[in-house]
């Protein structure tokens, strides 16, 4: 059966697939548009499953804060390449996902739906269209009872949302910017995980013991090192990036404000990237031929 160019064009517009793929699908479906679309969808989902094992460590972070600054949603979506993360389809998908996170306030990605469908199904469709493994890796959402949220997005790769109480939007954004740059572990000492603190104390004690100094001096050395460490990892103890002469804690005190919470997402954080060696890859192909 001869397939007209107009039919191929229509299928391409409806699926976003290539011209040759559309023509092949229509030929195999004897010109039936709906059957061709269904076959392409099944084929695309199969390809998406195969690509799910490919490392996706690039991508983008998207943030959405409600108009009253009382709710927020933030998501990290990964791709295999930075090029794919800049494609219109990827950007549109990210915008839809973060909007859904804001509205649904899910505890995890598994609970998320986009356009009435599970986000996993929408993701698979995007994978089939883009041709790369795409993963909705993690999401964060929140609602503030007493404060407001400020956001900062750096290059589309580092996103921060900061909840400030008794402060304004400008302060919240400044603190969010600081968090993006300085990467604190928590707001103050009360939020430092006990196991992390004990681990650092043990290291400091072992290092101090090697000095051969008296026990009381070693104890003071450890206390001093712990104090310095806490200042480095807590938000309120860090020098403010826009004015290093004052700490974030001092800035907040001057403003009569406090930080209730913050969330920070960075693209690819903690993902082990596969190191590619082009020369070795070529040699392997030569040996196998």
For the segment 95-138, what is each residue's pLDDT rounded down to a tens digit?
Answer: 999 999 999 999 999 999 999 999 999 998 888 888 788 999 99
What one-character DSSP code corresponds to residue 161?
E
195 vs 258, more confident: 258
Helix, strand, coil tally for the chain in percent (to 5) = 50, 20, 25
Within this chain, domains 5-51 and 53-143 share the same CATH topology:
no
The alpha carbon of residue 234 and the mean position of all alpha carbons in its chain are separated, in whole angstroms, by 22
Tokens encoding 212: 């051969």
pLDDT digits (tens, 9 = 90+) for 187-229: 998 988 888 878 877 887 787 777 777 777 777 877 778 888 8
Cα(130)–Cα(84) distance, rounded to whole angstroms? Answer: 7
Confidence (pLDDT) at 40? 66
CATH superfamily of 5-51: Ubiquitin-associated (UBA) domain (1.10.8.10)
Domain extents in the chain: 5-51, 53-143, 195-227
Overall average pLDDT of the 179-184 stretch? 95
State the pLDDT at residue 289.
Answer: 42
The answer to whether the predicted template modeling score (pTM) of the entire model surpasses 0.85 is: no
| pLDDT of res. 284 | 54
Least confident window among 47-56, 179-188, 225-234: 47-56
The pLDDT score that the predictor gives to residue 234 is 95
Q: Does domain 53-143 have CATH number 3.30.479.20?
A: yes
Only one residue has tokens 């790769």, namely 157
């Amino acid at each position: 059966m001869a397939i007209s160019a107009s039919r191929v064009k229509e299928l391409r517009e409806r699926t976003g697939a290539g011209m040759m793929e559309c023509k092949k699908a229509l030929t195999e479906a004897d010109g039936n548009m709906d059957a061709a679309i269904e076959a392409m969808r099944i084929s695309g989902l199969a390809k998406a499953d195969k690509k799910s094992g490919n490392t996706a460590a690039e991508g983008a972070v998207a943030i959405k804060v409600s108009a009253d600054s009382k709710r927020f949603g933030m998501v990290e979506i990964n791709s295999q390449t930075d090029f794919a993360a800049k494609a219109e389809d990827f950007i549109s998908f990210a915008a839809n996902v973060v909007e859904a996170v804001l509205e649904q306030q899910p505890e995890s990605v598994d609970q998320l739906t986009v356009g009435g469908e599970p986000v996993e199904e929408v993701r698979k469709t995007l994978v089939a269209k883009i041709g790369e493994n795409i993963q909705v890796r993690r999401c964060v959402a929140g609602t503030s009872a007493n404060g407001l949220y400020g956001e900062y997005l750096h290059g589309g790769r580092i996103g921060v949302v900061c909840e400030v109480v008794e402060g304004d939007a400008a302060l919240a954004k400044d603190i969010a910017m600081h968090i993006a740059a300085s990467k604190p572990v928590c707001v103050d000492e009360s939020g430092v995980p006990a196991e992390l603190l004990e681990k650092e104390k043990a290291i400091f004690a072992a290092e101090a013991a090697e000095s051969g100094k008296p026990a009381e001096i070693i104890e003071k050395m450890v206390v001093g090192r712990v104090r310095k460490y806490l200042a480095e990892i807590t938000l309120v103890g860090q020098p403010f990036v826009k004015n290093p002469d004052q700490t974030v804690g001092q800035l907040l005190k001057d403003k009569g404000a406090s930080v209730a919470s913050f969330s920070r997402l960075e693209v690819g954080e903690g993902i082990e990237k596969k190191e590619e060696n082009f020369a070795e890859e070529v040699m392997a192909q030569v040996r196998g031929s």
